[in-house]
Structure 1
Amino acid sequence: MGFVSIFRPSRSRAAPATGGDGHLTCRDVRDLASDYLEHAQGVSTMDETLLQKIQRHLQVCRPCVSFMNSFRRTVDMLAHLPQSSLPQSVRQRILDQARKQ
Structure 2
Amino acid sequence: MNWKVVNTAVQEIAAKPLALTYEQLEEAISPEHFVHIRHVRGGPNPEEVARALEAQALRLDTQEQWSLDTTNKLRSVDAKLDLILNGWLNRI
Name the TM tier (shorter chain): under 0.3
Question: TM-score with structure 1 length normalisation?
Answer: 0.23
Query: Which structure would you say has the larger Rg?
Result: 2
Question: TM-score with structure 2 length normalisation?
Answer: 0.25
- Between 1 and 2, higher relative CO (CA 8 Å, sep ≥ 6) is seen in 1
